[in-house]
Structure 1
Amino acid sequence: MLRYFLAITFLASFINAQIIPRDQLFSDPKYSSVSLSPDGSIIAYLAPNEKGISNIFTKCVTCQHTKVVTFDNKRHINGFQWTGVPNVMLYYQDLDGDENYKLYKLNITNPSPQNEPHVISDRPGVKAAIIANNLVDRRVLIGLNDENPAYHNVYELDLYTNEMTRIFHNKRFPPQIIVDNDLQIRLVAEEADDGSLIYLRPSSKANPRKLTSDKDTWVQYLKVSPEDRPLTIPIAFNANNKRIYWQWGAGTDLGQLVIHDFGHPEANEILYSAVKAQIGAVLFHPTDHNVLALSEVYHKPEIFVANNTILDDMQYLVNLRPAATPVIESISLDFHTWLVTYVSDDRPFEYYLYRRWQQKAEYLFTTRPELVGQKLNKMNGFSFQARDGLQLQAYLSLPPQSALLTPAQVNGTDIELAKLGILPIEPQPLIVFVHGGPKARDVFGYSSTNAWLTNRGYAVLQVNFRGSVGFGKKLTNAGNGEWGRKMHHDLLDAVNFAVGKGIADKNRIAIMGGSYGGYATLVGLTFTPDVFACGVDIVGPSNLITLLETIPPYWSGFYKDMTSMLGADIKTEEGRESLKSRSPLFFADRVKKPLIIIHGANDPRVKQAEADQFVDALKNNSIPVTYVLYPDEGHGMRKPENNLAMTGYVEDFLHKCLKGDLEPFKQGQYNSSAVVMASADKPEEPRLKTLSRSSFYRRATYYKAPESTQILRDSVFVGDIFSNRL
């Protein structure tokens, strides 16, 4: 009788749940990429203008005056950086998701549509990247693949004169270039035949102002084994550039923060050894470059303060919002003013300005003010064992109105699960949302995707399967060669756990993901066609052979790492057979359940052909599928109208499959570019020819010391095929 009463209570609360409109969740945030100027006087951020195009806005810290400083009505601005010259910033844009970034310099003193930014690079087919920017110098280092798409030359840009001087003529090294605080190139890296990563430093023959990639101008600094590569990364130099900080993987699973005299990597001084998860981010003093704090994230972020320098400050910030985690986004060079984000699961990111000399924080804004007061989901972390005994971490987000079992109503190990709040009274329709990468991870915090799906009545299960990062090199390396094998088994084991604990209704489970998560979706519907009720594939590869054959040029420098991760090489017949055996394309005839495929025509990482060929294979077997193509997008949806339309298509699809709540959607509702290439309801649709481009390149970014945990843009698509090289 009690069970019946509780079920009725659950049903009533579910019916009374208010549908949150998609445009409140997936329009561009009112504030994103928020950053404090080096002198602490101005806050800059990206926001949509009156035409919905993302531009740069600034807000005066003392006067609160806000103004727009860019005036682009056609192309969204992807990102920006302050520089060491007052009121001067750099910003970059690409064309329809092709990731060939164009770079501009902007003076924001007197912004006007008539004040054109200075063009640093806008050449077609050339990808510009900011290699180094120390926020104090009149110079910055810029990378351009202007001679060979696989390699970036390095230029020194004078921000006063706009003069560009090439300081590194590069014909050899992939985009992993380590620079010190004085903007001197100190290390480069390249793969060895055995998959190790070799760091090299300039030899005595090298001219630091005119570096080349000639072999006699570089000498080996450190050789990192394939097993240690996920955890061994140079982070930053100390103030006088004589010592270098590393995240270090040798001899440890979770890694350590170490420092050694430059040139003596054998003489590490251990500063911190990770306890439960890998080091997530390191916070450095802006001028003396000492370590102030770092974080680990297992289920939730944990902050470890290095010394007394900021102990009182961090304690104040933690006490200010005990239910959220403070993240230091920016610190002024005088150390007085901090930009702080608070991260929690059930509310969007909130920004505060902390004035250190007053030990007082002032609330600034939330990224999505329209969601204030809405009841959003909680995100609960838990652990479970895979079938081979490997311990895995996962997150479960339940609909906010779900009635839960209490610890008193269960026994045994379920008591702890009930304390976590992850045992609903009735099994839920469940979506297994698979992260991209796969060398990435799901993390705790607000997600528009989770807020949307749980609001529609679905539970969301996110699994950090083997191959993910953040939980030690053993877990990451355990994914090598296991695409379509044990990595998929981990997802199945998580599903079995959820069904066994009464969390999920076994007849209403969907699989969904982007990039690698899209591949996992196709694997789920082909290799285990009876497990999932339906699947959502967003920019996922269907054929591992063609995925490797079409990698962007500057992934070629990390080819060994890719083949190690995939467990096979297309250059051998054995390797091709192995990749074929794990490619959903060759098993398309097994698909039984509804499938929607979404792709961007300009995707430089997972080509449109990956979707086309799978759809063709389904049609050849008379298997219905819905295929939506966006001609002006790349690896995910950047434009808000396309993002909204994508979520509309997916929501309608999930409603038909899992019977959750629905905000009505019709084709053309958001004026997106979407082209329905195939529809499960209409067997034949006109085909749009593949949009051809002369070349596809991938964004190169260069590792620099993280100032804080990075807050990702909260869109429906999160992930990347090889995100460790972002």
Structure 2
Amino acid sequence: MLSPDGKTIAYIAPDENGVRNIYMKCVTCKHTEKISFEGQNNIASFEFTGVPDVILFQEDNNGDENTRLYKLNITKATPPHLPVAISDRIGVKAAVFKNNMRDSKVLVGMNDENPVYHNVYEFNLYTNELSLVFHNKRFPARMLFDNDLNLKIISELTKDSSVIYYRPSPKANPKKLTSRKDDWVEYLRVSAEDAPLTDPIAFTADNQRVYWKWGIGSDLGQLVIHEFGRPETNQVMYSAKKAEIASLFLHPTEKTVLGLTEYYNKPEIYVANDTIINDMQYLVNLRPGDSPMVVGVSRDFHTWLVTYLSDNKPFEFYLYRKWQNKAEYLFSTRAELNNRQLSKMIGFDFKARDGLKIQAYLSLPPSTERRIPSEVNRTNPEFVEYAKLGMIPRVPQKLILLVHGGPHMRDLFEFNSMNALLTNRGYSVLQVNYRGSTGFGKKLRNAGNGEWGRKMQYDLLDGVDFLVEMGVVDKNKVAIMGGSYGGYATLVGMTFTPETFACGVDIVGPSNLLTLLETMPPYWLGMYNEMVKTLGANVDSEAGRLSLRSRSPLFYANQVKNPLLILHGANDPRVKQAESDQFVDELKKNHIPVTYVLFGDEGHGFTKPHNTLAFAGLVENFLGKCLHGAVESFTLGQYNSSATLIADALNPDYPRLATTLPPPPSRFYGSPRGYALY
């Protein structure tokens, strides 16, 4: 992150004890200094403020997601100086809701009265005083603030999953807002179909107009602007062409739109005016084939922090000085991988069984020999275009179907440490943006509603079948792996279609859709109707319960035939540990072997360095036993992780924690920095 004055870069990295702390780097003197000294919990995020020597940071307690919020004075950031707790109450989730990087105050949200609703406080960065500005007993969802830290737009989800946006009524006190009806007037009503692509983004500098992502009447969405409170004055600034608008580049003080990004296979940058066209052209030319991302700018707009999206290089950062039209290389986030041959991601489309077009990525091991188009044309002319992309190997591959979480997320063209590990070990990797994924329009996203365990799963199976038909994959050497929703998809694959997958790796996946709904985190309960829409059923009717049960792997555990590794975080607030416990219990009742590992100090994913190393070791050894890819020697206590073996396979020939397998042909230097799921 770049400081507002453009003189300092700060970042989070593991310290000598493996705890993720904040480091600060001077951009001119090259001096780097550790400025936070957390001893147990990783710092999750931080931000600069309008006060030059003050930053704010967040952390939770071993993955419980009840984030605590602290203020840290950078000039005094040495022991025994301690950060000031803005909120460190047990069971309270606190976050910065608005920071304009200009004033000596920020707005902080805390669910300190009701876990479902966040009150909003004004926090004085000098005096540490908190003042309540919005007493909230009604609105769990989206809030938008203007540039002067005033709450201007708030949303409410209805029973039919449509969204109503409100603005403060003329008689409401902007610094003493409540959730009473007479404090709010309706601004805009959006249907359930259009809601995923309709969202307010930011105010213009004078706070008179609002930028929106607008999905009404458009599948991919538009960027529009209208006078605050008057959506009938909409002006379309841009209509998406290939994919949804992924990001917006705003001037830091003028709040004008400088550019935006669409993201189909790879990011495509569209420049809005001449202000930055020469700058962006320079950055594009600096790294041909990679996509520049401006991740920070100084308030005077003279200095930019830039990174690049690349499939086979870790993130590398540059300092771009606009007045010089020149970029200076700063550092790589994974310098140990700089001279390693890493896999490329190939974006492609295929047709699902019902004709819906699905986008996906294929990564082959770096040394894979590929068939040239002329060879393919002689035998399978319909696959020539895929051969031109370099997708068809000479020998069918072992495949890992790596399923993203969410499910309202998407796989991206970018460096992925798990992808790099798997391809280094000799596996090809398929990542499918199945229906329900975001980024490809309302039609694809809404097509996933009610299709957990059905058409969403069929898209994954159809992707594998497509590669098998093309000769890319050996159908007898396919594994499925994923986290969160991807973990659910793994369990569905291992129970509903056990003949398809030689083995599976479930990471924090739900096994029972009934208990998943019944144990949602309290701060998600305001989105309950949205979750019901996504699942296509609720627990309040017999028909709904039957539907959810029919798509829950727990009730089909007796159909598991092949090796299964289950990993979970003990403090997971989204998918409770019980989701894995109950599935393992059912397997045991049916005398079906399973390996189950619990990380005692993690939540919905694994982020602590010693745990991510153990996670990588567990996964590669399991897959090595199943699909015979390369492995490094690993024992469970090797990295002093919190991993505990809760259940091991009953069959002695079943994949266990390998300790004597030979090393791979080329070692994978480093480990995944973290595997956090959503």
Interval containing the TM-score (normalised by the shorter chain): over 0.9
**Tell me, what secondary structure is at the counterpart of 1:467?**
coil
Q: Which residue of 1 aligns with 2:303?
A: 337
Instruction: Give how far 1:718 is off.
Output: 4.9
Shift of 1:459: 0.2
**Residue equivalent to 2:312:** 346
Identity across aligned pairs (percent)?
63
Question: Is 2:594 the partner of 1:636?
Answer: no
Query: Is the contact made by 2:604 and 2:676 (CA closer than 8 Å) also made in structure 1?
Result: no
How far apart, in 2, do the equivalents of 1:339 and 1:353 lie?
5
C-alpha separation in 1, matches of 2:536 and 2:140: 22
Q: Provide, for residues 217-263 of structure 1, a one-character-per-residue CA deviation record: whole Å limited to 9, x for no partner.
A: 11111111000111001100001001000000011100000000011
Aligned residue number for residue 120 of structure 2: 154
The equivalent residue for 2:254 is: 288
In the aligned structure 2, how far is the partner of 1:396 from the partner of 1:111?
Answer: 45
C-alpha RMSD of the superposition: 1.1
**Contact 1:433–1:517 (Cα < 8 Å) also in 2:** yes
Q: How far is the alpha carbon of 1:72 from its aligned partner?
A: 1.8
Q: How far apart in 1 are the matches of 2:677 and 2:591?
A: 31
CA contact (8 A) 2:457 2:489 kept: yes
Residue pairs, 1:576-587, within 5 angstroms: 576-587=545-556
Residue 28 of structure 2 is aligned to residue 62 of structure 1 = yes
Q: What are the within-5 Å matches in structure 2 for residues 87-106 of structure 1?
A: 87-106=53-72
Per-residue deviation, 1:205 = 2.8
Match of 2:372 in 1: 406
The one of 222, 225, 236 aligned to 1:270: 236
Paired with 1:387 and 1:539, the residues of 2 have a C-alpha distance of 29
Residue 550 (str. 1) matches residue 526 (str. 2): no
Letter matched to residue 665 of structure 1: F
Cα distance in 1 for residues equivalent to 2:622 and 2:447: 34
**Which secondary structure state, in structure 1, belongs to the residue aligned with residue 75 of structure 2?**
coil
Q: Out of 559, 577, 583, which is 2:528 matched to?
A: 559
Match of 1:717 among 665, 670, 675: 675
| Secondary structure at the counterpart of residue 230 of structure 2 | coil
Match of 1:375 in 2: 341
2:588 is aligned with 1:619: yes
SS in 1 for 2:420: helix
Following superposition of structure 1 onto structure 2, how do residues 285-324 of structure 1 map, counting pairs within 5 Å? 285-324=251-290
Paired residue secondary structure (1:657): helix
CA contact (8 A) 1:435 1:718 kept: no
Q: Secondary structure at the match of 1:304?
A: strand
CA contact (8 A) 2:606 2:676 kept: no
- Are the equivalent residues in 1 in contact too, given 2:403–2:481 (CA < 8 A)? yes
Query: Shift in Å at residue 110 of structure 1?
Result: 3.7
Q: 3-state DSSP class of the match of 1:240?
A: coil
Select 1:124's aligned residue among 80, 90, 110.
90
Deviation readout 1:347-376 (Å, 9 max, x if unpaired): 101100000000010000000000011000
1:425 alignment partner AA: R
Equivalent residue runs for 1:646-661 within 5 Å:
646-661=615-630
TM-score (norm 2): 0.96
Q: CA deviation at 1:111?
A: 2.6
| Counterpart-to-counterpart distance in 2, 1:652 and 1:420 | 31
Q: How far apart are residue 266 of structure 1 and its match?
A: 2.1
For 1:716 and 1:639, how far apart are their aligned partners in 2? 7
1:236 aligns with 2:236: no
Question: Equivalent residue of 1:641, what SS?
Answer: helix
Q: Which residue of the partner structure matches residue 696 of structure 1?
A: none
CA displacement at 1:112 relative to structure 2? 1.1
* CA distance in 2 between partners of 1:170 and 1:58 (Å): 37
Match for residue 50 of structure 2 among 56, 75, 84: 84
Name the residue aligned to 1:18: none
What are the within-5 Å matches in structure 2 for residues 71-220 of structure 1? 71-220=37-186
1:660-717 Cα distance to aligned partner (Å, 9 max, x none) = 111111121111111111001479xxxxxxxxxxxxxxxxxxxxxxxxxxxxx96463
Contact 2:607 2:676 in 1 (8 A): no
Distance in structure 2 (CA, Å) of the matches to 1:627 and 1:442: 26
SS of 2:96's equivalent? strand
Paired position in structure 1 for 2:666: none
1-structure distance, mates of 2:353, 2:205: 49
Would you say the 8 A contact 1:436–1:718 is kept in 2? no
SS in 2 for 1:36: coil
- Could you give the per-residue CA deviations for residues 612-645 of structure 1, whole angstroms, max 9, x where no partner exists? 0000011111100000001111000011111111
Residue 53 (structure 1) aligned with residue 16 (structure 2): no
- Asked whether the 8 Å contact 2:70–2:85 carries over to 1, the reply is yes
Question: Secondary structure of the equivalent of 1:109?
Answer: helix
- Match of 2:675, as an amino acid? F
Separation of aligned partners in 1, 2:537 and 2:568: 26
Q: CA 1:237/1:714 → structure 2, altered by over 3 Å: closer, same or farther?
A: farther
Rounded to whole Å, the distance in 1 between the matches of 2:266 and 2:565 is 33
Residue aligning to 2:662: none
What is the distance in 2 between the residues matched to 1:469 and 1:389? 19
Q: 1:697 aligns to what? A: none
The alpha-carbon deviation at position 443 of structure 1 amounts to 0.4
2 CA distance for matches of 1:669 and 1:410? 47
Aligned to 1:496: 465
Question: 2:547, 2:352 → 1: CA distance?
Answer: 24
Q: Match for residue 679 of structure 1?
A: 648
- 1:526 aligned onto 2:495: yes
| Residue 417 of structure 1: aligned partner | 386
The aligned counterpart of 1:435 is: 404
CA contact (8 A) 2:505 2:619 kept: yes
CA distance in 2, matches of 1:714, 1:387: 35
**Pairing partner for 1:473 from 442, 445, 461:** 442
Contact 2:21/2:42, CA 8 A, preserved across alignment: yes
- Residue in 2 aligned with 1:723? none
Counterpart position of 1:506: 475
Contact residue 495 and residue 553 of structure 2 kept, 8 A: yes
For normalisation by structure 1, the TM-score amounts to 0.90
The 2-side partners of 1:534 and 1:500 are apart by 21
Shift of 1:73: 2.2
Query: Mind listing any 5+ residue stretches in structure 1 that lack a counterpart?
Result: 1-34, 684-712, 721-726
5+ long unaligned stretches in structure 2 = 653-670
Greater shift, 174-183 or 296-305, is seen at 174-183
Q: Once the 2 structures are TM-superposed, how far is the Cα of residue 74 of structure 1 from its aligned partner?
A: 1.9
Contact 2:609–2:674 (Cα < 8 Å) also in 1: no
Query: 1:376 aligns to what SS in structure 2?
Result: coil
The list of structure 1 runs, each at least 4 consecutive aligned residues, that deviate by more than 3 angstroms after superposition, is: 713-716
> Would you say how many aligned residue pairs link Structure 1 and Structure 2?
657
Residue 223 of structure 2 is matched in structure 1 by 257
Q: 1:599 aligns with which of 568, 572, 578?
A: 568
Q: Which has the higher contact order (CA 8 A, sep 6+)?
A: 1
Specify the alignment match of 2:245 in structure 1.
279
- The equivalent position to 2:506 in structure 1, one of 533, 537, 548, is 537
